[in-house]
Chain A
Amino acid sequence: MTRTLRRSGWVLGLAALLAALLLLTKLIQPGFGASGIESLVRAALPFAFATAALAVVVIAGGIDLSVASMMAVASVTAAVLMESAGEAATVPVVLLVLLVGIAMGAINGALVVWTRLPDIVVTLAMLFVWEGVALLILQAPGGAATPWLRQLIVGPFPIPGLPEGATAFLPKSLVVLVFCLALVWLPLRRSRLGLSIYAIGSDPTAAFRSGVAIGPTRIAAYGIAGLLAALGGLSLTLSTGIGEPIPGPYLLAAVAAVVLGGVALTGGRGGLLGPILAVLILRVVRLILTLLSVDPNVTTIIEGTIMAVVVMLGGLLAMRERRA
């Protein structure tokens, strides 16, 4: 019991922090309610998927700097195909984009395995490659998104039998996020592959000696990250209605959220819940600062400071634990 508590202590702390911040938002802006939460989560959607993608790779002991570029490729692919293929072909288009994402991730992983270069070098190079691919597909922002698909992440999630007031606080975008992540993560976590991913992240040599196929596992981890990045790109296209070939600031934000979320950069530790909570916390902080009419540039400073201070504190705590 105490062990589970200590293990999930970080996540519980994050959840408490998020609740406190939401309460603070309500105090600052009494009108903050269902619609505020709805737009908050909708804006956080691409960030959350980018963070989840990065988290999986980091757990497997790697790092993927090309997350934002892969999102751009998925975003423009979806926008171009949806515009040209029309509404009837929406579902095949979505599936195709997800497949493209898996393929991009698997290519990253295969290159990491095959070249034997550090992950950070390979994905740095692939950052340029995927960026270029996105630019080849679409020179300037454009394309379109199917309207009914866009409605999928707008507004509250209706539950039959419950009054509208009760369901108003459950945005569709949150349901989409939880559903997609659960669909990918829960079966993985319970499978042999999931265990292998944690194993190669925590100690590749030990994993190898216990019979884990390191190469394929690594490729699979990158493939899953690609899939999640594709979901992020899709959500980006859905929320803006167009495809954006220039990658947004998702890489930095994802690294920050992954670290805040309690995933060790050395690999093998952490989950997806912590990073997702961290994404929401960072978005709420941004919202609060906006509500306080703080200069948006000062907001950037504060975000950077939070990130630096939290990781510094984490480092000091870890050191003290080691000494004790």
Chain B
Amino acid sequence: MSVETARPSVLGRAGRFLRDHPTVTLILLLLALVALLQVLRPGIVNERWIGNTVKFAIPLAMLAACQTLTMLTGGIDLSAGTVATISAFVVATQAPLVGTGPALLIALFPAIILGLLNGFGVGICRVHPLIMTLGTGLIGIGCLQVYQRSVIATGSVVPPILEWLGTGRTGGLPNALVLFLPFAALILWAQGRSGFGRLLYALGANEDAARLSGVRAWQVYLALYALSGLIAGLAGLVYVGLIKAPSLSLAEPLLLPSVAAAVIGGTSIFGGRGGYAGTIVGALILTVLGTLLTLLQMPEGARRILFGLIILFVTTAYLRLTDQG
């Protein structure tokens, strides 16, 4: 070790730099994927394509924020997909009834309720987050189906403001950045600099130690899962503006990729390590990967196989690169 520090080889230094800045590795991987895309289909990488990729990556990155934050404490939020779907569906069906502004507020209400329910189960009843969020997801989807029956006559309208946010672009850049940039800045600030963020890391690294040093764990969990629900609800609002067709399974296909984005981004599923910066790059990688696989015109089955294998490969390589050596 000491010999190595005395005379580091170029390769060793590069390796250490990558270990210390894991996000750089991910960005390099992202650039490699984009380069591969450009080689396969010269000219595809232009301003318009970048805008589109960012547009599709944003809802995924927001949903992955739920996974990142809960994973920092060793949890996971599998109800995020359902919560996003509920918010999207409620806003589209309430907008014709009560107007856009109130509909937006009404839509976020069930998101926070389900989040609080998760927090209650995880923080106070000490249920494993995986089980708790699966259960609330089931409850949520059932409630949504019952709700759908009651509003079947009103029809659904995606509010223009959400369409502007989800699909519109200003000067080549997607409008969703208006929401996403402050959002990401807030999360990045909160995870490292705020007391709440540090409590998340503390609880994830060693819950007993955190408790003994006076952290009221249940309050943190309650706030964390409520926040996660709120973020999932917001992601649903952006996503419905992008897809423009509310359905009962709108954001469900985003759930597993959102977990994958957080995992690829280097957040440990056991808690205590990782952060949102990696997750954002992870979401971009997954989106570019999706384009790449579509472009190769493979059968759907082969695309899914490749998707799974690449997640596996990237996370393994990342683990080897950052943990060992």
Chain A residues in contact with chain B, CB under 8 A? 63, 111, 115-118, 120-122, 124-129, 131-137, 139, 252, 255-256, 259, 265, 295, 297-305, 307-308, 311-316, 318-319
How long is the Cα–Cα vector from A238 to B290 in the complex, in angstroms? Answer: 35
28 contacts between A and B (CB under 8 A): A115-B312, A121-B263, A124-B263, A125-B309, A125-B311, A128-B308, A129-B304, A131-B301, A132-B302, A133-B301, A134-B301, A135-B300, A136-B301, A256-B135, A297-B146, A298-B142, A299-B142, A300-B139, A300-B141, A301-B138, A301-B143, A303-B142, A304-B139, A308-B127, A308-B132, A312-B127, A315-B126, A316-B126
How long is the Cα–Cα vector from A316 to B218 in the complex, in angstroms? Answer: 13
Q: What's the dominant secondary structure at chain B's contact region? A: helix
Q: Is A308 a contact of B136 with CB atoms below 8 Å?
A: yes
Q: Does B319 contact A (CB under 8 A)?
A: yes
Identify 11 new A-B residue pairs, CB closer than 8 A, beyond the known A116-B316, A300-B142.
A118-B270, A121-B312, A124-B311, A125-B308, A252-B138, A295-B146, A299-B142, A300-B141, A303-B142, A304-B138, A314-B127
How long is the Cα–Cα vector from A256 to B137 in the complex, in angstroms? Answer: 12
How long is the Cα–Cα vector from A120 to B263 in the complex, in angstroms? Answer: 10
B191-248 interface (Cβ within 8 A of A) = none
Residues on B with beta carbons closer than 8 Å to the beta carbon of A265 = 128, 130-131
Knowing A115-B319, A133-B301 are in contact, say whether A312-B308 is a contact too (CB < 8 A). no
Chain B residues in contact with chain A, CB under 8 A? 76, 117, 121, 125-128, 130-132, 134-143, 145-146, 149, 256, 259-260, 263, 268-270, 299-309, 311-312, 315-316, 319
Residues on A with beta carbons closer than 8 Å to the beta carbon of B270 = 118
Q: Is B145 a contact of A300 with CB atoms below 8 Å?
A: yes
Q: Is B125 a contact of A315 with CB atoms below 8 Å?
A: yes
Q: Is B135 a contact of A308 with CB atoms below 8 Å?
A: yes
Selected contact of A318 from candidates B126, B136, B140, CB within 8 Å:
B126
Selected contact of A128 from candidates B134, B299, B311, CB within 8 Å:
B311
Selected contact of B319 from candidates A117, A124, A136, A308, CB within 8 Å:
A117
Q: Is B121 a contact of A308 with CB atoms below 8 Å?
A: yes
Q: Is A307 a contact of B305 with CB atoms below 8 Å?
A: no
Residues on A with beta carbons closer than 8 Å to the beta carbon of B137 = 304
Residue ID in chain B nearest A309 by CB atoms: B135
Knowing A116-B319, A304-B138, A307-B135 are in contact, say whether A315-B127 is a contact too (CB < 8 A). yes
- Min CB gap B69→A, angstroms: 17
Residue ID in chain B nearest A119 by CB atoms: B269
Q: Is B142 a contact of A316 with CB atoms below 8 Å?
A: no
Residues on A with beta carbons closer than 8 Å to the beta carbon of B121 = 308, 311-312, 315
Knowing A124-B259, A304-B142 are in contact, say whether A132-B301 is a contact too (CB < 8 A). yes
- Min CB gap B297→A, angstroms: 15
Q: Is B138 a contact of A303 with CB atoms below 8 Å?
A: yes
- Min CB gap B177→A, angstroms: 29
How long is the Cα–Cα vector from A128 to B270 in the complex, in angstroms? Answer: 22
- Min CB gap B29→A, angstroms: 16
How long is the Cα–Cα vector from A244 to B128 in the complex, in angstroms? Answer: 32
Most A-side CB within 10 Å, residue of B139, B270, B309: B139
Q: Is B128 a contact of A135 with CB atoms below 8 Å?
A: no
Residues on A with beta carbons closer than 8 Å to the beta carbon of B300 = 132, 135
How long is the Cα–Cα vector from A119 to B42 in the complex, in angstroms? Answer: 39
Knowing A300-B145, A301-B143 are in contact, say whether A122-B135 is a contact too (CB < 8 A). no
Selected contact of A297 from candidates B145, B256, B259, CB within 8 Å:
B145
Most A-side CB within 10 Å, residue of B141, B305, B306: B305
- Min CB gap A249→B, angstroms: 10
How long is the Cα–Cα vector from A255 to B300 in the complex, in angstroms? Answer: 27
Residues on B with beta carbons closer than 8 Å to the beta carbon of A135 = 299-301, 304
Selected contact of A311 from candidates B128, B146, B312, CB within 8 Å:
B128
How long is the Cα–Cα vector from A118 to B304 in the complex, in angstroms? Answer: 21
How long is the Cα–Cα vector from A92 to B87 in the complex, in angstroms? Answer: 51
Q: Is B315 a contact of A304 with CB atoms below 8 Å?
A: no
Residues on A with beta carbons closer than 8 Å to the beta carbon of B299 = 135-136, 139
- Min CB gap B322→A, angstroms: 12
Residue ID in chain B nearest A115 by CB atoms: B316
How long is the Cα–Cα vector from A311 to B129 in the complex, in angstroms? Answer: 11
User: Closest 6 CB pairs between A and B?
Assistant: A304-B138, A132-B304, A128-B308, A135-B301, A301-B142, A300-B142
Residues on B with beta carbons closer than 8 Å to the beta carbon of A295 = 146, 149
Knowing A124-B260, A255-B131 are in contact, say whether A132-B138 is a contact too (CB < 8 A). no
Knowing A132-B303, A308-B135 are in contact, say whether A125-B130 is a contact too (CB < 8 A). no
Residues on B with beta carbons closer than 8 Å to the beta carbon of A252 = 134, 138
Residue ID in chain B nearest A305 by CB atoms: B139
Residues on B with beta carbons closer than 8 Å to the beta carbon of A300 = 138-139, 141-142, 145
Knowing A295-B146, A316-B125 are in contact, say whether A132-B308 is a contact too (CB < 8 A). yes
